[in-house]
């Protein structure tokens, strides 16, 4: 076989799963009809017995226009990352494609999807109303934080599965302690089909860039703020998800567990075998986490959250297929893998 045909075969193997998921979302195929909220004749067997929860750091999901007072110049068509409308819409369809693959696997769309590294309301409007995800019927809420890069956290939700009761942001006291402002905490409450209320907290803790002492102190301060937020919901079903920029055995989790319980691997042996959600300096790690209150833990399938390992999310080395390598466009989905947990539908109040 010539080298040309080898390349063609490898490209087909890599793109076919993604293409199939794209067709599932965009064309309303026979395989995908069961997942559209308004599809007639959908299969209701087992419907309402579980809720699929997803968290994903989507790596610099910016639009292509300058946002006043934000340092988003790298992500403009003329910026260092050459972020064009074509690349922007391709990325939106990549996010849509991934959620469609989860729907195909689980037999229903994720009820709630936490996202981080999204720029603004325009991005989420385009994702939920104008991209190939539009037929899935998602609504959304997001923060409007003081992060200098302009990235925020958000929650997509299926109104049929999670009826929004309210949401608010909690700002970390970063500036008061001499740090740059970072992403706010997003707190969302919603009513589930069974009538119970679930409280969802989405976070993106300060970066550990450079591993200097200041970054550790900033994350510790952020975790203290997060603990106060969780304490305000004591005794209620709580789900916390986000990019913590910390590994599961990091001491900062001692401030959160208890009252929360982590759904991530904890033992060294288990962590050595795990693929993780992020690959850095030759090693897999878990920077992304899902934690739940004690009252909710017994409803978690297998007691674990797991990274999605769809082949189209990975590059040729089996690592997360990044959108960028430095300023160079790599054309992939994200430098993080999505994290999924499945909850049964009966929640204790």
Return the pLDDT at 346: 60
Split at pLDDT 50, 70, 90, the class of 5 is: very low
Q: What is the pLDDT, as a whole number, of residue 208?
A: 73
Residue 82 confidence (pLDDT): 96
Full-model pTM: 0.86
- Arithmetic mean of pLDDT over the chain: 85
Burial of 38 (0-12, 13-18, 19+ CB in 10 A): exposed
Dump pLDDT digits (tens) for 306-336. Answer: 999 999 999 999 999 999 999 999 999 999 9
Q: Which residue has the higher pLDDT, 40 or 120?
A: 120
In the predicted structure, residue 23 carries a pLDDT above the cut 60: no
**Which residues of 14-82 form beta strands (DSSP E)?**
50-61
> Which tokens hold the place of 72?
């988003």
- Does the pLDDT of residue 21 top 70, yes or no? no
Distance CA 320, CA 336 (A): 6
Nearest partner of 235 among 296, 301, 298, 304, judged by Cα? 296
> What pLDDT does residue 19 have?
47
Residue 77 token pair: 């068509």
Q: Residue 149 — pLDDT band, cuts 50, 70, 90?
A: confident
DSSP count for the chain of H helices, then E strands: 6, 16
CA distance 211 to 207: 9
Residue 106 pLDDT exceeds 60 = yes
**Among 9-23, 45-59, 295-309, which range has the highest average pLDDT?**
295-309
Residue 39 has pLDDT above 50, yes or no: no
Q: Is the pLDDT of residue 281 over 80?
A: yes
Query: Domain ranges in the chain?
Result: 3-344
- pLDDT of amino acid 3: 42
Neighbours of 46 (CB within 10 A): 9
Give CATH for domain 3-344. Answer: 3.60.10.10
When pLDDT is cut at 50, 70 and 90, the band that residue 70 belongs to is confident
pLDDT at 66 over 80: yes
Half-sphere exposure for 325 (CA within 13 Å, toward CB): 9
């Amino acid at each position: 076989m010539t080298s040309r045909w080898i390349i063609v075969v490898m490209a087909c193997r890599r793109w076919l799963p993604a293409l199939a998921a794209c067709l599932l979302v965009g064309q309303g195929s026979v395989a995908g009809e069961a997942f559209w909220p308004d599809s007639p004749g959908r299969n209701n067997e087992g419907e309402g017995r579980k809720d699929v929860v997803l968290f994903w750091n989507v790596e610099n999901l910016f639009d292509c226009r300058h946002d006043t007072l934000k340092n988003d110049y790298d992500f403009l068509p003329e910026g260092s990352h050459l972020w064009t409308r074509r690349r922007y819409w391709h990325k939106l369809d990549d996010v849509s494609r991934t959620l469609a693959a989860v729907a195909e696997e689980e037999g229903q769309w994720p009820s709630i999807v936490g996202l981080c590294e999204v720029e603004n309301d325009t991005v989420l409007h385009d994702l939920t109303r104008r991209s190939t995800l539009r037929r899935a019927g998602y609504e959304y809420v997001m923060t409007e934080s003081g992060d200098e890069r302009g990235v925020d956290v958000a929650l997509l939700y299926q109104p049929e599965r999670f009826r929004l009761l309210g949401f608010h942001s909690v700002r970390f006291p970063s500036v008061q302690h001499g740090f740059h402002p970072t992403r706010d905490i997003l707190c969302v409450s919603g009513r589930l089909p069974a009538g119970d209320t679930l409280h969802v907290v989405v976070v993106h803790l300060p970066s550990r860039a450079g591993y200097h002492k200041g970054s550790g102190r900033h994350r510790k301060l952020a975790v203290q703020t997060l603990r106060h937020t969780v304490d305000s919901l004591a005794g209620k079903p709580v789900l916390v998800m986000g990019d913590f920029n910390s590994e599961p055995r990091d001491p900062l989790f001692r401030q959160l567990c208890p009252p929360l319980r982590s759904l991530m691997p904890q033992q060294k042996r288990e962590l050595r075998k795990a693929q993780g959600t992020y690959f850095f300096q030759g090693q897999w790690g878990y920077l992304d986490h899902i934690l739940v209150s004690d009252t909710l833990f017994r409803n978690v399938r297998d007691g674990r959250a797991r990274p999605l390992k769809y082949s189209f999310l990975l590059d040729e080395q089996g690592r997360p297929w990044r959108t960028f390598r430095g300023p160079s466009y790599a054309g992939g989905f994200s430098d993080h893998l999505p994290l999924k947990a499945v909850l049964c539908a009966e929640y204790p109040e």
